[in-house]
Structure 1
């Protein structure tokens, strides 16, 4: 199964933290939605999933859409303590998420929100490709994407594509070697 990690980074290389002062850019969200629809799924952490489904963060247009923006997409939430949610599959490990999607017949898994989730997939070498959206913002103290939190090592990558998304966002797509 091909696994693609999709993340937004700041211009100074941190894992971008979105919030009221730094909301995600529409172009990045539209790109994520298109990639999720193409894959037919996405894997997300509990905190990010809760933020995504928080009624105060959902537009009026989306609230009126009973199908939701991810209708027909398999959503897998990675959490060790989250209760089951109708229409969402909750798993406890990256391997369990991938196994579930393979059993459902998916050929690609899209790994989305949460630095902890991204780092767990990277550390376990379960990522084939990364998509980084470089946001036009510098951030102070931030989180990093790590292939190994305990050791200093490198992982070669090969540039597959580079394109502007709009609003000064540049998307970089790499294959992990």
Structure 2
């Protein structure tokens, strides 16, 4: 199974934090919906999922398998809840998915990256600089690097640029 991590970053490399003063760009939301629909699923952390859910209802994700990785939640109606990244991937594989879209929350992203479970990353770089942001971490304790290969680079509109990289999982 191909595991794709999808994230929006700021121009200075932090995970983009959206809120009333910095709402997500329409182009990034549209891009996420496109990737989720193509994969037929997405994996997300509980806090990010609760923020996405808003006033409830399935919305545009009615026919998409949603997997929430959470250490505290045991059940959320309409979604599969697991405790570990590997459990999320196993669930999607058992349900016939060829691609897993890892989509939300710095902790979830860093967990999948740190365990070497990501084959490809899609970064939508938003035109904003952020002072205190959350960062990509592939190893919290040691200096390390991962080789990546640029697969695609394209503008999405409104100053958002998408970078797509393959990760070489054989070298760390």
TM-score range, shorter chain: over 0.9
Of 164-173 and 77-86, more deviation after overlay is shown by 77-86
CA change 1:121–1:23 in 2 (3 A) is same
**2:38 equivalent in structure 1:** 38
Q: For residue 120 of structure 1, report the CA deviation from its aligned partner.
A: 0.2
**1:172 equivalent in structure 2:** 163
Of 110-119 and 13-22, more deviation after overlay is shown by 13-22
Which structure 2 residues correspond to residues 2-81 of structure 1 after superposition, within 5 A?
2-55=2-55, 68-81=59-72
Gaps of 5+ in 1: 56-62
**2:98 equivalent in structure 1:** 107
Normalization by structure 2: what TM-score? 0.95
Q: Among 130, 135, 140, which residue is 2:126 paired with?
A: 135
Poorly superposed stretches of 4+, deviation over 3 Å: none
CA distance in 2, matches of 1:102, 1:73: 14
**1:90 equivalent in structure 2:** 81
Q: For residue 71 of structure 1, report the CA deviation from its aligned partner.
A: 1.1
SS at match of 1:112: strand
Gaps of 5+ in 2: none
Q: For residue 94 of structure 1, report the CA deviation from its aligned partner.
A: 0.3
Q: For residue 45 of structure 1, report the CA deviation from its aligned partner.
A: 0.3
Q: For residue 2 of structure 1, report the CA deviation from its aligned partner.
A: 0.2
Structure 1 vs Structure 2 CA RMSD: 1.0
Instruction: Figure out how many residues of one structure are paired with residues of the other and give that number.
Output: 168
CA distance in 2, matches of 1:16, 1:29: 13
Normalization by structure 1: what TM-score? 0.93
CA change 1:172–1:54 in 2 (3 A) is same
SS at match of 2:104: coil
**1:147 equivalent in structure 2:** 138
CA distance in 2, matches of 1:119, 1:4: 13
